[in-house]
Amino acid sequence: MALETLLAQALPVRAPPPPPRRALVLMGGGARTAYQVGVLQALAGLLGPGAFPFDVVIGTSAGALNAAFLASVADEGTAAFERLAAFWARLRSGHVYRLSALRLGRPNLLSAGLTLLRQVRHHRALLDSQPLVETLQRALELPRLAAALQDGHLTALGVTASSYTSGEHWTFVQARAGAFEPWHRPGRRAEAQVIGIDHLLASAAIPFLFPAVPLWVDGRREYFGDGSMRQLSPLSAAIHLGARQILVIGVGQPQRATLAGAAEGEPGAGTIAGHALASVFHDTLQADVEQAQRVSRALRSLPPALAQALPYHPVDVLAIQPSASLDALAREHAEALPPATRHTLAGLGALETRRGGNGSAAALASYLLFEPPFVHALMQLGRGDALRHAAALRALFAAGAAPASVP
């Protein structure tokens, strides 16, 4: 008897797998996530008019806002991507946060410090997030999500957040009946909940910048912050939900161009803050993608009898990330920041452009620059990057085909 037959007989018979699903995973990064909109616009152009092309949508941080918006209009098919682009075209920083700056002459560290101290006293964080609450209430049509799930336009929406209370990373899932089973892994959990604005605020609550948000889990209230924190396995939720093809759009850059060269002088507060935020959003995406690809190659190499008996299946993953420095792009458009924000960041040294300055200071501005010049530049970059990977995208959306290799 062949070895694979013996192994297959020794394994328990598994239940029939769910139908193959295609997932969209949107990573976090504040204003940087406008890049994702450009990628999706190009994808819509490649696919043409038709049904919504994803069964599962998972979002983290500001990526969760994009995910929830798309899921709520999934009944509009690929036109949902242009709806999201129109939302970003109308967005301004004042629709996301409020910052009242003290003006004590020219921008300096003292005035910036006093401004931020006052903000913390009034809002429990450096920024007032009430504008974001009002924007989401106006822009999102979350009641349509239940209908989209029931009518088969979508299988599930997942939103991730990190619990300050327990230290666990949570994925909250609203799914079609019978399409989701909760799971619990070390440091990671998933639970079925009706997604509301509070879930999105929690997922997008960048530490220190936005206040923690309370959510009810396991019958108790826990406080949550940005889903990018402690996100050990960005693809996990999509795989648990039966995804066989995954498009993941990140906005991080493992080696930020502004850190590649040695800067002269001691880093300022803005540089340190920008580096800290980059660390929060420095996800494990690339490592997770590479691991999924290795496991999938191993599964495809197994004898068919053994592969069919195992409770695993290959997953085709295509990851698209910015091909240009978003820090440098933010520095080019820093003048578009609201005056109060620009004054405060300048006081922190976060807009330093002199030759001896550490350019990574501009990283902080890149998360807060919800203004048309920067948003449009990000979307243009996203469209260009997606078109560079047009062959890989077409392959991913071809039934049963693996995506082309991406350099």
Could you give the residue numbers annotated as active site? Answer: 61, 226
Which amino acid is residue 240, in one-letter code? H
Half-sphere exposure of 218 (CA within 13 A, CB side): 10
CA–CA distance, 211 with 198 (Å, rounded to integer): 12
CA–CA distance, 112 with 270 (Å, rounded to integer): 10
CA–CA distance, 108 with 73 (Å, rounded to integer): 45
- Give the angle subtended at the CA of 87 by the CAs of 83 and 92, to the nearest 5°: 170
Residues 6+ apart with CB under 8 A from 211: 123, 124, 125, 129, 205
Q: Is 227 exposed, middle or buried (0-12, 13-18, 19+ CB in 10 A)?
A: buried
Which amino acid is residue 164, in one-letter code? Y
User: What would the two tokens of residue 74 be?
Assistant: 């999934």
Residue length of the chain: 407
Give the closest residue to 228 by CA, choosing from 274, 281, 289. 281
CB 155 within 8 A of CB 175: yes
Q: To which H or E segment does residue 5 belong?
A: helix 3-10
What 3-state DSSP class applies to 300? helix
Task: Report the sign of the C-alpha dihedral through residues 23, 250, 195, 140, in that order.
Answer: negative
CB 270 within 8 A of CB 349: yes
User: What would the two tokens of residue 64 be?
Assistant: 């969760």
CA–CA distance, 214 with 191 (Å, rounded to integer): 16
